[in-house]
Structure 1
Amino acid sequence: MSTNKHLGKLSLTFLILALLITGALYNGDKLGLKSQDKSMEYEKRLFDDSRVHTINIVMDDWDKFIASAKDKKYSACTIIIDGETFTNVGIRAKGSSSLTDAADAGSTRYSFKVEFDHYEKAINYHGLDKISLNNMIHDSTYMMDYLAYQMMGDFGVSSPLSSYTNILVNGEKWGFYLAVEGLEESFLKRNYGINYGNLYKPEGKEEEADGKEEELQPDDQEERFTPDVNLQYINDDPKSYSIFFDHAKTKISSKDKKRFISAIRELNLGNHFNKVLDTEKVIRYFVVHNFVVNGDSYTGEDAHNYYLYEKDGRLSMIPWDYNMSFGTFSHEDSTLAVNVPINEALKDRPMQSWIMKDSKYQKMYQDYYRKFLDSSDIAKRIQQTALLISPHVEKDPSKFCTYEEYQKAVNTLNRFCQLRTESIRGQLNGTIPSTISDQAANKAALIDASDIHINDMKNKKLMN
């Protein structure tokens, strides 16, 4: 009898200890405990970017799937990644311009989304739920998306993983693509642990052929934007922010909505920046973002192609869709693109303009810019990437440019980054104007980039 009592006390003690340990692990961030390694197995597999991967898409009715690609409806297939087979996986075409431009060019080399758990929730790729396979139709360098994500990640910004892969269809060569980690639960766990916050993306909807509404990724959008996409405060009504709430990537409650709106309000009022923003992460984001001169983004005319992360009432930016960066979206004048001012902020973009409103944060921004330039060997990154992918680009059976055009594009990209670095260093030390008005008044001080042509990095077939 006494033995049973003793065992009962031990069992109760172990149960209490287990509950305490579980609670400590779950609330580790709040308790000041460091999270355990958040790495996911798929990082070391498909997103090992030291090598080129192989993805074989197996589908009996592939021709029918391609013929109806513009419907953007999921179809079932088998995906074989580096020899590993995953059956009953969902795949669909993706993108807006990347899809229509490919069709207009007479090509079926579309970008795709692969959703492992679309049909069966238990299916995943070593913890990964979704990937994008980008056709790089607008990018003759094959590197813009990849470089931007690498720069962001290296500089401490939560950024999607990416790697290069040869795509096969039923064992036959299809094309050379960039695989990009989907920004969903696996991304959140990898970057923030199991106790992650909320993820939002501004987007619209479109009608599918079967009458169902389909969520659109930022890169699927056209002109369907509302003012709140700029992150301007409208009012306290959650309906005014439906572009975020209706398409949140995480489950959100009324409290989450209230907290989100409160953060937007305080951001716009210019109050308590450190309370409503992860100031360091946001500044690091804009350092890299401004370096790569991406007009097809939050700081562009349409204010799109970004994700917003919120945790405990603090917001930060997550990069997405940089395939038309390095001046290729909105510039043709190379000198203007290379010298885009780093201290200019759009007044109707509060997530960016707050940096310039406070001298403390402006100095922090400039200090981080110096750290970024000093720590980044962009020329080496471009060289290493070119060594890795050039043989595959040359053999790419469906590429949108010639191999010679690719080589010229890479050289132009490398030169652009060299000149961009030179211009920003000058802007930081005051020898080159760092605002639009000052540059207009002193054009002679700008870095001359007339020896390169922005269009050499673009798909020339789409320019005709």
Structure 2
Amino acid sequence: MKAQMMKLLLCICSIVTIIAMVGCEATKSTTTSIENSEVSSTTETSKTDDEIATKVFPKDKVVDVKITIDKDDFQSMKDNASAEEIKTASVDYNGMHYDNVGVRTKGNLSLRSVVSMDDSDRYSLKLSFDEYLSSQNLLGISKINLNNGYSDASYMREFLTYELADQMGLPTPGFSFVNVYVNDELYGFFLAVQQVDEQYLESNFGNSYGALYKGEMTGSGSDLQWIDDKIASYTGLAQKSEKSNDDILIDMLDELNNGTDYAKYLDVEETLKYIALQVLTNNTDSYIGGNKQNYYLYEDDGVFSVLPWDYNMAFGGLGSSNLLIDEPTQGALAERPLVAKLLAVDEYKEMYHNIIKDATEGYLSSAIFKERVEEVSAMISTNVKEDPSSFYTYEEYQSAVPKLITINDTQVNNIDQQLAGTIASSGDGSGSGGGMGGGGMGGGGKRDMPAMAGNNALATPTDVTAQAGQAAPADGQNAQGAPTASSDGQNAQGAPTASSDGQNAQGAPTAPADGQNFEGGGFPGGQMGGDRPDGMGGGRGGMVGGMGGFGEQSAQPKGTVKEALTVGITLVLLLLSGLFITFYKRKRL
């Protein structure tokens, strides 16, 4: 009987030992599988990014975008451009064919201005690959904007600004020059810009589940000043994601306006880079300008980043004078807490000045910027010359290119003096002033075109050549107290702009301004990626405020302890099995 019990115990121990060993191997296999999966995912993302960079948004060549659409539909779309009607089309994007693509006009002030023209129907367009098929995309990209280059005789202000933003390390959408064809006829030479969509967020943040907002000129709150703790009060911050993630935006606004721990809710370094970008390119059609618009806020694990957007008015396109780098706002500095609060911290101001200095000594330095402008000009000049719907003559383009170089040299020289302390970098808190002069069309007399129709209180330059081929505003504007242009081609300071008419003051406008909207309030199908996955930590490494990596890294310590316990138990069982075997054999002898 005793011998039988010993045999039974031996069998049980052997079985337990085998199970433990299998479990240990399974744990190791699972861990390896997870690690391999993450490596595979990272490799796949990198591969997709490379494909997008070469096939969709190359920087060294112009690609063809061919739209095939019913002629009556296309004519109706142009005849009713303000309605932004969506039509069905087929699209060949650099040789990649897609059917059932949504196409519509897009824009805000520029759209209304072209609508009011008698001799142009050169509308910016939006391609929505997922309009009818939620799973359809162009290498992960759901929407692409085709920008018509309104008010830019040089054709390259937006291209160069996005390139600078990318070099500064800001999250930047894909962009490239394209020839747009409609039914096999050349429609125009445009700039393609990726929509802020899932692919953009995945590429820049490694996720797309965060809350996303867009600052718009309509409504209240796009200046990021504190109103109250109700998200509905901030109608100027249009929610573009499906989820608000527990109204974390309110927490950020509260801390920004009423607290001091800014890094808790803001990626401070990235925010400073965003502010610097606006100053370096004299882009007042942004958060720092009178309209307080054209930026996104993306929340990644509780921390917000400011995303750059819409730079056709960069390099002084709105006619602003040289900006005070520490007080660059149109209107009181205190009314832009994102600037006022961060620059009030000595550490952050020093960081901000270093960011600016890196750009003025790098990409924007006289020699480097001149060389890059000439490279881009050589790449696009033939396309500009053959553009059948251009707002400008080819001669105006040729004149605008060197003026763009001059404008940058003037701005950089002024900024360098401010950094050196030889001229003031701040004032009495009332801001840098400026207005929306210089944004008009004409560029030297090709035609009389309305300048940003529908705006009031505009400061208007009288020098037609002031801003890279820009003319004085035509009808549709109320040019109160219009100053003359300064000798360096920049407009004198004037009143900040008022919001344009005809805008919906709700947080979710029916017709998306500039088309920067996730159609239907979110992404089709999974919308903004659904709930946060388990184990997700911070976004990209190196973010201010102690942001960590994401994915397996945050869960790694638990996995290591579990493996150690499994190995320990296995060793104990093996030891017990050895004792039983030894004891059993002794009895048999």
Same structural fold, with TM-score higher than 0.5 when normalized by the shorter chain:
yes
* Residue 174 of structure 1, CA deviation: 0.9
Is residue 395 from structure 1 mapped to residue 349 from structure 2 by the alignment?
Answer: no
Q: What does residue 64 of structure 2 align with?
A: 54
Aligned AA for 1:353?
Answer: A
* Conservation of the 8 A alpha-carbon contact between 1:401 and 1:460: no
Q: Matches of residues 126-145 of structure 1 in structure 2 within 5 Å?
A: 126-145=139-158
Q: Residue 196 and residue 22 in structure 1: after superposition, are their counterparts in 2 closer, same or farther (change >3 A)?
A: farther
* Conservation of the 8 A alpha-carbon contact between 1:167 and 1:173: yes
Q: What does residue 344 of structure 1 align with?
A: 327
Secondary structure of the 1:309 match is: strand
Q: What does residue 30 of structure 1 align with?
A: none
Is residue 355 from structure 1 mapped to residue 346 from structure 2 by the alignment?
Answer: no
Q: Which one has the largest radius of gyration?
A: 2
Is residue 197 from structure 1 mapped to residue 197 from structure 2 by the alignment?
Answer: no
Instruction: Provide TM-score, normalisation by structure 1.
Output: 0.82
Secondary structure of the 1:159 match is: coil
Q: Which residue, out of 174, 178, 185, partners 1:165?
A: 178
Deviations 1:242-294 (A, max 9, x none): 543xx433231452x1x221111111124112222111111111112111111
Q: Which residue, out of 226, 236, 241, partners 1:233?
A: 226
Secondary structure of the 1:201 match is: strand
Q: Which residue, out of 359, 376, 388, partners 1:372?
A: 359
* Residue 125 of structure 1, CA deviation: 0.7
Q: Matches of residues 89-100 of structure 1 in structure 2 within 5 Å?
A: 89-100=101-112
Instruction: Provide TM-score, normalisation by structure 2.
Output: 0.65
Alpha-carbon distance between aligned partners in 1 of 2:203 and 2:75, rounded to the nearest angstrom: 36
* Residue 176 of structure 1, CA deviation: 0.4
Alpha-carbon distance between aligned partners in 2 of 1:21 and 1:238, rounded to the nearest angstrom: 42
Secondary structure of the 2:234 match is: helix
Alpha-carbon distance between aligned partners in 2 of 1:301 and 1:454, rounded to the nearest angstrom: 21
Q: Residue 161 and residue 412 in structure 1: after superposition, are their counterparts in 2 closer, same or farther (change >3 A)?
A: same
Aligned AA for 1:309?
Answer: Y
Tell me, which stretches of 5 or more residues in structure 1 are unaligned? 28-32, 204-222, 332-336, 441-449
Q: What does residue 53 of structure 2 align with?
A: 43
* Residue 239 of structure 1, CA deviation: 2.2
Select the structure with the greater relative contact order (CA < 8 A; seq sep ≥ 6).
Answer: 2
Q: Residue 373 and residue 82 in structure 1: after superposition, are their counterparts in 2 closer, same or farther (change >3 A)?
A: same
* Residue 159 of structure 1, CA deviation: 1.4
Q: Residue 21 and residue 250 in structure 1: after superposition, are their counterparts in 2 closer, same or farther (change >3 A)?
A: farther
Deviations 1:271-318 (A, max 9, x none): 112222111111111112111111211111111111111122222211
Q: What does residue 68 of structure 1 align with?
A: 80
* Conservation of the 8 A alpha-carbon contact between 2:77 and 2:84: no
* Conservation of the 8 A alpha-carbon contact between 1:433 and 1:439: no
Q: What does residue 327 of structure 1 align with?
A: 316
Alpha-carbon distance between aligned partners in 1 of 2:465 and 2:284, rounded to the nearest angstrom: 17
Q: Which residue, out of 411, 429, 433, partners 2:420?
A: 429
Tell me, which stretches of 5 or more residues in structure 2 are unaligned? 1-13, 432-461, 477-589
Q: Residue 278 and residue 25 in structure 1: after superposition, are their counterparts in 2 closer, same or farther (change >3 A)?
A: farther
* Conservation of the 8 A alpha-carbon contact between 2:198 and 2:208: no
Alpha-carbon distance between aligned partners in 1 of 2:428 and 2:464, rounded to the nearest angstrom: 25
Secondary structure of the 1:77 match is: strand
Alpha-carbon distance between aligned partners in 2 of 1:65 and 1:239, rounded to the nearest angstrom: 33
Give the share of equivalent positions with the same residue, in percent: 32
Alpha-carbon distance between aligned partners in 2 of 1:303 and 1:438, rounded to the nearest angstrom: 17
Secondary structure of the 2:181 match is: strand
Q: Residue 39 and residue 198 in structure 1: after superposition, are their counterparts in 2 closer, same or farther (change >3 A)?
A: farther
More helix by share: 1
Is residue 267 from structure 1 mapped to residue 256 from structure 2 by the alignment?
Answer: yes
Secondary structure of the 1:66 match is: helix
Q: Which residue, out of 262, 265, 270, partners 1:276?
A: 265
Aligned AA for 2:337?
Answer: P
Is residue 224 from structure 1 mapped to residue 234 from structure 2 by the alignment?
Answer: no
* Conservation of the 8 A alpha-carbon contact between 2:211 and 2:244: no
Aligned AA for 2:111?
Answer: L
Alpha-carbon distance between aligned partners in 2 of 1:281 and 1:237, rounded to the nearest angstrom: 27
